[in-house]
Amino acid sequence: MKYLDEYRDGIAAGEYLSALRRLTTRSWTLMEICGGQTHSIVKHGLDELLPPEISLVHGPGCPVCVTPLEMIEKALEIAARPEVTFCSFGDMLRVPGRDRDLASVRASGGDVRVVYSPLDAVHLAERHPDRQVVFFAVGFETTAPANALAVRSARERGISNFSLLVSHVLVPPAMEAILSAESNRVQGFLAAGHVCAIMGVEEYRPLAARFRVPIVVTGFEPLDLLQGITMCVRQLESGRAEVENQYARVVRGQGNLEAQALIREVFTVIPRKWRGLGEIAASGLGLRPTYASFDAELRFAPNGESLDEPESCRSGQVLRGTMKPVACPAFASECTPEHPLGATMVSNEGACAAYYRYRVRTSASRVLHG
């Protein structure tokens, strides 16, 4: 398949691995900051093929996973209201709240629907003016333009029964929080290619300079990741700490200026709480006052009480990169995709889900089938 098989070529992968073995003289810890990269790494076993000196840890790169428990509870409360049609991407339906999830709200009679675009929710509101249609706007900078466009479209078309429950977060402040922690051991980052396709690379340069860490914008296929790792290790071995762009076929230095302008028009930067990381200043997006009439939190005033994660769930440590999923005592026993304790076992970009899908089940299959 053109433009896909080329990035999964085994011979080329072997050449990158050989180059890494020649290049590496010290131990280095790198963090990929995207859940899609995590799944690709685990699926293709890249972390197991690297020289033993190179350790990959998984960061808070899954927007579903970093959505805090308080926001999940707000979503559940709004979704259970009889006048509300609650729309979301599919991953969010199984994320556990305190004692239920959106799927159980739907099973109990709530009008909870899976959509494929926030504009689907806008069209639904237009067709059903007697219903309050709420879209769960979760994501990094990647999904913010589409959500901004949905709100602007609703206003232009006079659709007043549409609103967003906003839980947008921004990547660079989370990287800064990880680097500032006393327990930090991350020495280099693989930055998320799709985020940088929107935002560009310039906002990473102050981080690289301040913390003396290489940041390599990286794609999602095996050769993308191996090249990104090689670029990062080459910087570390030579004492450099710069921003480089491995994903140049997609990412431009300035990013998508039109998308950035749309984000700025509709959203403003605010503090945001992250699951596993706590509240981080200037790390989220909220609707601007000019679009406040589309804010579901203002419209429905759900309970905002602070909630702690279940004691048996170690997803916070997984999201901070201080624990691999397999080190959690509940992993694959008390916590499975069918009965998850936390979002990292639910989401298609969650690290725990990746390890369960590609390591536990594969190992079990080998035992059963030889």
In tens, the pLDDT along 249-267 reads 999 999 999 999 999 999 9
**What confidence score (pLDDT) does residue 363 get?**
45
* CB-CB contact of 314 with 308 (8 Å): no
Residue 114's CB is within 10 A of a number of other CB atoms, namely: 14
**What confidence score (pLDDT) does residue 16 get?**
96
Half-sphere exposure of residue 69, counting CA atoms within 13 Å on the CB side? Answer: 19
The correct answer on CATH 3.40.50.10440 for the domain covering 1-308 is no
Instruction: Give the residue extent of every domain in the chain.
Output: 1-308, 315-369
The low-confidence residues of the chain, meaning pLDDT below 50, are 363-370
**What confidence score (pLDDT) does residue 1 get?**
53
**What confidence score (pLDDT) does residue 362 get?**
52
**What confidence score (pLDDT) does residue 364 get?**
39
**What confidence score (pLDDT) does residue 366 get?**
37
**What confidence score (pLDDT) does residue 311 get?**
84
* CB-CB contact of 107 with 140 (8 Å): no
**What confidence score (pLDDT) does residue 369 get?**
35
* CB-CB contact of 15 with 41 (8 Å): no
